[in-house]
Amino acid sequence: MNSLLSISVAAILIVFALPLAADSDVPDDTPANEPVRVEKDIFHPPVRLAAEDGVIDCGPSWGHAGPWVEDVDGDGVKDLIVGDFSGFLRVYRNLGTNKAPRYAKAINLQAGGKDAQVPIY
Amino acid sequence: MDFDGDGILDLVSGSYDPGEIYLFRGLGKGQFAARETIVDKSGKPILRVPNQKERVESFGSWMAMVDWEDRGVLDIVVGTFDGMMFLRRNEGSRAKPAFAATNEWVHAGGKPLRVPGGAHANPVIADWDGDGLWDIITGSADGGVYWYRNVGKRGRPEFALPVALVAKHDGIGYSELLEPDRDPKPGIRSQIAVVDYDGNGKLDLLVGDFCTNLHIKKQLTPEQRGEFQSVRDRQAKASKQLGDSMGDLRKRYDEVMKDVPKSEWHTPENSKKWTQMYQEMRTSEAYKKHRSEYESLQKDLLQFVDGRGATMRDIPDVPHGYVWLFRRK
């Protein structure tokens, strides 16, 4: 993990260190949009999702949780899929219902007979 | 996501490096085929800079698919590391997509779309306000969630300037103090899903995040608190000095490159120039001194914090990545 992390830190350094430049058709020097307003009071206080083994935390993979919800295994209830900085895709099978999900411990999504992974560096 | 309309769930994903977009074709019942790179009609990967000179130019991608013009096919929208979005039209069919070879940049309120916070656009397509037109909702490097309302017509999408559904994170997301037994707050670099999570007919948000925390140990004496603060102050000073060195370097590089068009900044020759200047800075005596001071202060912090979960030795920061449910009222 340490070497993995140092590579990731190096990759981040490269990204932040190199000034982003590109083809002329990229709208360079585009200012960020300013939000016209911030919605108030439209959500209940946010809560962290948990699985059988506790609060879901991809910290050991350097965080960057990217969630999605789909019925991955075709059993009729929606599961939770979470990407993280390892590039693996963690599947939390829903052992409950769509209205009241209850997630099993994560397993790595399988593709082509092995752990599915997208390249991170 | 059903990529090719065969009725079987597929999985698509962006990536950090090299920023290509990927497809895991579904085989049904949770089975997927090996990863494929999604390519345009000419067979080239779909990238922020199609003719890039260096990989770094297209780092960081997030993708969504939507029938942009209501033609019965799915087009691709890619969010970029620097917070913009481009469209690749599907010039083929639903079953056999053929994506355009050039990027069309998405606009909002008459300007190029660039998410508040200026980085990490991760577009999700959903009809947030239920007006029958799909909208774009996105996370951002700043931790906020932004809604770009589609104010166009069916088949002719146009977007208004964004509304913040979730306010940006208050803080930088690194080394944030967390008192014992206190819950954290949502961090930075929000990556989202938009879904009716509890089946009550209203769309909710799932927000993935990133943050590193200093978990303050229980029962520190007031004296230890004081020492802790003093180490933090010295560390902030060292950190600023390191940041200033980087800032100076950028300024000097900009000066060197002032007559070179930006599209040429990533030629091997110019990249080498940057690497050389960067190495010179890293190996300068002043930089090395600040660096070693910073590292030694990091170690000093360890006595005041609970470093369980830290992924690097001698570093007191514990990284986290949670999935937050924002349930709509």
Question: ipTM > 0.95?
Answer: no
Shortest distance between the Cα of B87 and any Cα of chain A, in A, equals: 12
Q: Residue B180 has what pLDDT?
A: 92
pLDDT at B30 over 80: yes
Residues of B in contact with A60 (CB under 8 A): 309, 311, 319
Question: How confident is the model over A91-117, as a mean pLDDT?
Answer: 97
Q: Residue B203 has what pLDDT?
A: 98
Task: Please answer whether residues B244 and B254 qualify as being in contact, where contact means their C-beta atoms are separated by less than 8 angstroms.
Answer: no
Closest C-alpha to B297, from B248, B249, B227: B227
pLDDT at B4 over 50: yes
User: B188-246 pLDDT, tens per residue?
Assistant: 999 999 999 999 999 999 999 999 999 999 999 999 999 999 999 999 999 999 999 99
Instruction: Grade residue B265 by pLDDT with cuts at 50, 70 and 90.
Output: confident
Give residues 137 to 176 of B whose Cβ lies within 8 Å of A: 144, 146, 160-167
Q: Residue A25 has what pLDDT?
A: 63
pTM for the predicted model, two decimal places = 0.91
pLDDT at B11 over 60: yes
* Per-chain mean pLDDT for chain B: 95
Q: Residue A10 has what pLDDT?
A: 39
Question: How confident is the model over A50-79, as a mean pLDDT?
Answer: 96
Distances (CA, A) of B18 to A116, B62, B95: 17, 12, 27
Q: Residue B263 has what pLDDT?
A: 78
Instruction: Grade residue A14 by pLDDT with cuts at 50, 70 and 90.
Output: very low
pLDDT at B296 over 90: yes
pLDDT at A44 over 80: yes
H or E element in which residue B27 lies: strand B22-28
For residues A1 and B80, which has the higher predicted lDDT (pLDDT)? B80
Q: Residue B122 has what pLDDT?
A: 98
Please state, for a pLDDT cut of 70, what percent of chain B lies above it: 100
Instruction: Give the position of tokens 């909208």.
Output: B135
Q: How many helices (H) and strands (E) does chain A have?
A: 1, 10
User: B100-144 pLDDT, tens per residue?
Assistant: 999 999 999 999 999 999 999 999 999 999 999 999 999 999 999
For chain A, say whether B287 makes contact (Cβ under 8 Å).
no
Query: Please, how many CA atoms are within 13 Å of residue A98, restricted to the half-sphere of its CB?
Result: 13
For chain B, say whether A51 makes contact (Cβ under 8 Å).
no
Shortest distance between the Cα of A77 and any Cα of chain B, in A, equals: 12
The two three-digit tokens of residue B48, written as one number:
């922020």
